[in-house]
Amino acid sequence: MNDRELVDILKQTHTIALVGASDNPDRPSYRVMDYLLKQGYHVIPVSPKAAGKTLLGQQGFATLEDVPEKIDMVDVFRNSEAAWGVTKEAIAVGAKTLWLQLGVINEPAAALAREAGLNVVMDRCPAIEIPRLGLAK
């Protein structure tokens, strides 16, 4: 994935489902969600623990399937093995992009997502890429 492709993805994304969201401010998923909200994205926390609760003012859901709106990007804060199941869910809900966070590497899941027409970003963090690419607000 080159910088131009990343810029296009980040500019075309409006709604992000953050899978593996945590209400613990010390967790990377919490900090990244907070950053993405401050950048103007609509971020939906997805985690069984987030279901029926609000996190950073956003309604949480247990699974991607439970989210009642269109999802542009699925940002995955789960381990590499869990990425396969999340990828299948992202495809099923019609997401445009699968973004696997730093340290989350699953080549078969990435291939499956690409075959289904999704953009795939792996082993990167949008909270690092946005300022690096000059997109920070």
Mean pLDDT of the chain: 97
CB atoms within 10 A of CB 75: 30
Distance CA 68, CA 62 (A): 12
Instruction: Kindly give, in sequence order, each residue whose CB lies less than 8 Å from that of residue 134, ignoring residues fewer than 6 positions away.
Output: none
Determine the pLDDT at residue 56: 98
pLDDT band at 94 (very low <50, low <70, confident <90, very high): very high
Provide the greatest CA pair distance for the chain.
38
The structural domains of the chain, ordered by start, are 3-104+118-132 (3.40.50.720)
Mean pLDDT on 91-117: 98
pLDDT in tens, 27-55: 999 999 999 999 999 999 999 999 999 99
Return the ∠ at Cα 7 (arms to 137 and 2), rounded to 5°: 140
Distance CA 19, CA 15 (A): 13
